[in-house]
Structure 1
């Protein structure tokens, strides 16, 4: 993950190492707004993403994640997901030209898209995709639109969460999670309760939604990839079986 020099904020931890946390609110972390001098074209971003996407789909992490999705979907009564929200994947053309931030943004975005594609395959219906990232340039937004994701301005995505939503936010700050989880979603992918309880100076009130999910949801470890998903957990609500699902014959890549 990017270090402080890459424009990421570091959070103190009681034990072990914690990856950088970042927010999806551009007024919370100064300097993380859109690149004022973007240099990458849409074609360049697309070409880079194709390479990163192929690496992700061939990785052991995606193979392990597919196995988890194969187990979780039926175990949680095949939840009906109608909407998927990606919070703060990072800019595809960062202001400081950080190779780490750029690659992380692409990997985390592709991981989100592959999860959605997998859930679409298993459920048999399309899922609306939304992304919120204050650091996006206009070209970044065009790229997301080309991928089939609707870009919304912060904090619009938080109020879009409902009981049929997948919320995906890797290494966000706690207050971002708290805003996004005002209404508990069907699936949450992000730092789990144990990660926050290991940190120093955490406001207990910000963990209320996390504690509810930890007590009532099934949780699964999200396989790491070069520290990009370190400490990430998937929380799945056990719901009423959906009537429009089908038995999967395999998993889409």
Structure 2
């Protein structure tokens, strides 16, 4: 008897499903589209018990709301401390996790304001700031940009590990002010990240930045948008490539060719070795590589590592369609 997986499919059925999805993707069928994101968003926000959507294999299936709210706790009276042991391997390991629901960071508004002022000042005096302005002034004048939508910049923090998020938000305002001078009109700024809290919202609103709930950052992206993301934990590039091609993107550099990826071993100073996956959460794809062929690009060098390796992509003119799939077919 064939082994059954969690989805009830045999090995043969899973392989057939994978082949169907691969063929569908190669034919240009989008994995992400606005109508379905809207449908799922409505399902999550309303009291509907179920929703029917089309799966990656083209088949309809029903998702039922799980009303349970179980919280699992370790209640062994002899347990005084549970240490964390990590197992690093190229194969997945089955593990038991002891977790709790975290409430996140709760920094005061005054602390966020002071921290931002420091990092914004550093940013405005930095070489990457000057480089970004030069790139924007030389590449965006030909475009019609009305809004900026940034993904995954993170909640604003105080203290350790605060620099990247503050600097990246400061960069959004730099982009807006530069584009406003070029276009001669106001540019709206939006951000989407599930980690934002009420203090973030209050502070960002004071800076003219509006938080959009998931998935409305993607839904509001259009042909006049500049998309900005830095190492997000969702496949921003693939979602954008499937839905609407924006006027410009500033995001992690897209590899022009598909390279063979392999796990590698890293060794700590104490001699402990661990395995590192070659796969990220915002990967390139054949469709993303096809998309960026229709954009001019300039590399944004950041030696301070607040942005890692970014490239500024600006749409080549004329553009036949704002929809990625349609345009790639026509061209």
Taking structure 2 as the reference length, the TM-score comes to 0.55
**Is the alpha carbon distance of 1:228 and 1:42 closer, same or farther for their aligned partners in structure 2, counting shifts above 3 Å?**
same
Tell me the residue number matched to 1:238. Answer: 316
The 5 Å alignment of 1:155-174 reads: 155-173=215-233
Query: Number of aligned pairs?
Result: 202
Superposed CA deviations along residues 205-233 of structure 1, whole A, max 9, x for unmatched, are 96244223321110011121422222211
Residue 146 (structure 1) aligned with residue 213 (structure 2): no
Tell me the residue number matched to 2:237. Answer: 177
Superposed CA deviations along residues 178-202 of structure 1, whole A, max 9, x for unmatched, are 1233211000011122188457376
3-state SS of paired residue (2:312): strand
Q: CA RMSD in A?
A: 2.8
Consecutive unaligned residues of structure 2, counting only runs of 5 or more, are: 1-89, 91-98, 262-277, 319-331
Larger radius of gyration: 2
Residue 220 (structure 1) aligned with residue 298 (structure 2): yes
Bigger relative contact order, structure 1 or 2 (CA pairs below 8 A, ≥6 apart) = 1
**Is the alpha carbon distance of 1:199 and 1:60 closer, same or farther for their aligned partners in structure 2, counting shifts above 3 Å?**
farther
1:89 to 149, 153, 158: 153
3-state SS of paired residue (1:193): coil
Residue 50 (structure 1) aligned with residue 127 (structure 2): no
**Is the alpha carbon distance of 1:183 and 1:202 closer, same or farther for their aligned partners in structure 2, counting shifts above 3 Å?**
farther
Residue 207 (structure 1) aligned with residue 285 (structure 2): yes
Superposed CA deviations along residues 144-193 of structure 1, whole A, max 9, x for unmatched, are 11111111111211111111000000112462321233211000011122
Alpha-carbon contact 2:223-2:245 (below 8 Å) kept = yes
2:187 to 127, 130, 147: 127
3-state SS of paired residue (2:293): helix
3-state SS of paired residue (1:126): coil
Tell me the residue number matched to 1:190. Answer: 251
C-alpha displacement of 1:117: 1.0
Alpha-carbon contact 1:170-1:229 (below 8 Å) kept = yes
Structure 1's consecutive aligned runs of 4 or more residues displaced over 6 angstroms after TM superposition are: none
Taking structure 1 as the reference length, the TM-score comes to 0.71
Residue 112 (structure 1) aligned with residue 172 (structure 2): yes
Alpha-carbon contact 1:195-1:231 (below 8 Å) kept = no
**Is the alpha carbon distance of 1:197 and 1:189 closer, same or farther for their aligned partners in structure 2, counting shifts above 3 Å?**
farther
2:131 to 47, 64, 71: 64
